[in-house]
Amino acid sequence: FFGRPPLYVEPGIRTGMPIRYDNPAEVGADRIVNAVAARELYGAPVVVVDFGTATTFDLVNAAGEYAGGIIAPGILISAEALFAHASRLYRVDVRRPADLIGRNTAGAMQAGIYFGYIGLVDGILERLQAEKGKKGKKGEKGKSRSDAELRQEFHEAVARFKQEAEAEAPGSRSP
């Protein structure tokens, strides 16, 4: 497809990044590829946030090693659980609502899903920053993106997930 043979990323492949995980074979190839790419693009230390079925936070330490990570349910999995298990709630679009405070059920659900997920991401990143402050060395820093850039990427990811969800479940219920 790209005029090159595929590279299969699996346990034992040499990436140039030591994996400091209790059992390195447990780390998904996607997480390793993300960590290697982020280190190459932004330097170390760096935190990679990947929005997918799960939302993962992967840490590359100042030495350029994969230091571990955090796995949380993805935004669509969380929304699907709400739709499936709350008897009086229905499927809504996952998008930024006009207001923080919903004035109807759909708006309240959208606010909870959207801003709740931003809170999850912000909260984990704040805790990681605080943890780094406890363990990090003075003057240690990596390239980072502004909050505006991160939020824009989040909005784009939500839009992509919405399109994927609509493609998978046409004719979903709406208010």
Which residues face 55 on adjacent strands? 51, 72
Question: 48, 58 in Cβ contact below 8 A?
Answer: yes
Rounded to the nearest angstrom, the gap between the alpha carbon of residue 117 and the centroid of all alpha carbons in its chain is: 10
Unique residue bearing structure tokens 């059992």: 23
Quote the CA–CA distance of 10 and 28 in Å, as a whole number: 8
30 is catalytic: yes
Which of 22, 30, 99, 147 is flagged as catalytic?
A: 30
Quote the CA–CA distance of 74 and 71 in Å, as a whole number: 9
Question: 119, 32 in Cβ contact below 8 A?
Answer: no
Active site residues: 30
